[in-house]
Structure 1
Amino acid sequence: MLAKSFKSLGQFLLRYGLALAFIWLGLMKLKNSEADYLKDVLSNSAMLGWLLKYITPYAFSQLVAYLQMLIGIMIATKPVARKLSFVGGVLATIVLFLSVTTLFTSSYVWLPPYGFPELSKLGQSILKDVILLGAAMWCVGDSA
């Protein structure tokens, strides 16, 4: 009985904790300080650096903010809109996968001058996305 309770609570926290994290982080990205932070991240990313040629860091931050909040809301809708929650989980998986790849494509995640395995604050922030990616993938499977 205790194991079943822990499993149920864990599943609840995976889904709604992920939704809360996306909504909260989206709200934070509406701030100018987050745009400055994203500029540093993007300019040091081999995969996403090209975006700065086409969009300002502030505009990119705003787009990411609204996308994250929408994803969080979609994930939370499972009790009433299972398909919408599924799409939210897929989008979260894509966003988090892109974030996790930054660990391998940006020198900005390592603490200068030490390098691997010393993570910068950004690297530490992205490392938690590995776990969130697992939660997003679980949400996809749970909502299918």
Structure 2
Amino acid sequence: MRTRHASADDLGSVGYAFLRSALATNILWIGALKFKQYEVENDEPLVTSSPLFSRFREKLGAQKLNRLIGVTEIALGSLIAARPLAPRASAIGSFGAVGMFLTTLSFLATTPGARQEGQGMLSLSQLGQFLLKDTVLLGAALLTAAESLRAARPR
């Protein structure tokens, strides 16, 4: 007979698998979109106002920078998804995603228009709200990293 504890563990396993799949899918999909011209245009205010990315933008141009970001996101998403075959590689992908989401969250501070003008610092615009969702994705990346590291441990 199954105990409540076993059911909770099963639910946790399903939750982790779903979280990993959703995280990988989001990163892969967004990475693939970086090759579309409209996405290059959408990202322009973010990269030009970022002290780090504006330098890359100057050297590479908008389209090449977006493609580099896209390739990076596709690589990270693929690594995260590889957990059943390569848990250590998946952990590396998750830690890469942590860095990526910390970077995108920095855009909240550097991008003009991330906050509603004249409404105070905590009043986010639509762009700010879009960026804020990366806090949830950051948490997902931390959880998938931890779960991958546990799976990679020798038994």
Q: What is the TM-score normalised by the length of structure 1?
A: 0.89
Residue in 1 that maps onto 2:146:
141
Residue in 2 that maps onto 1:90:
95
Residue in 2 that maps onto 1:3:
8
CA distance in 1, matches of 2:119, 2:52: 23
Displacement over 4 Å in runs of 4+: none
Given that 1:47 and 1:105 are in contact with CA atoms closer than 8 Å, whether structure 2 keeps it comes out as no
CA distance in 2, matches of 1:17, 1:43: 29
The runs of 5 or more residues in structure 1 that have no matched partner are none
Given that 1:46 and 1:106 are in contact with CA atoms closer than 8 Å, whether structure 2 keeps it comes out as no
- 1:43-122 mapped onto 2 (5 Å cutoff): 43-122=48-127
Alpha-carbon shift at residue 50 of structure 1 (Å): 2.4
CA distance in 2, matches of 1:34, 1:113: 28
Alpha-carbon shift at residue 5 of structure 1 (Å): 4.0
1:79-132 alpha-carbon deviations (Å, 9 max, x no partner):
111111111111111111111122223333113353522222221111110010
Alpha-carbon shift at residue 54 of structure 1 (Å): 0.8
Q: What is the TM-score normalised by the length of structure 2?
A: 0.83
Residue in 2 that maps onto 1:32:
37
CA distance in 1, matches of 2:67, 2:118: 32
Given that 2:83 and 2:89 are in contact with CA atoms closer than 8 Å, whether structure 1 keeps it comes out as yes
What RMSD over aligned residues (CA atoms) do the two structures have, in Å?
A: 1.7
Structure 1 residues 113, 57: closer, same or farther in 2, change over 3 A? farther
Given that 1:41 and 1:108 are in contact with CA atoms closer than 8 Å, whether structure 2 keeps it comes out as no
CA distance in 1, matches of 2:121, 2:42: 22
Residue in 1 that maps onto 2:152:
none
Aligned amino acid, residue 29 of structure 1: K
Q: Which has the larger radius of gyration?
A: 2
Tell me the matched-pair count: 144
Residue in 1 that maps onto 2:153:
none
The runs of 5 or more residues in structure 2 that have no matched partner are 150-155
Alpha-carbon shift at residue 56 of structure 1 (Å): 0.9
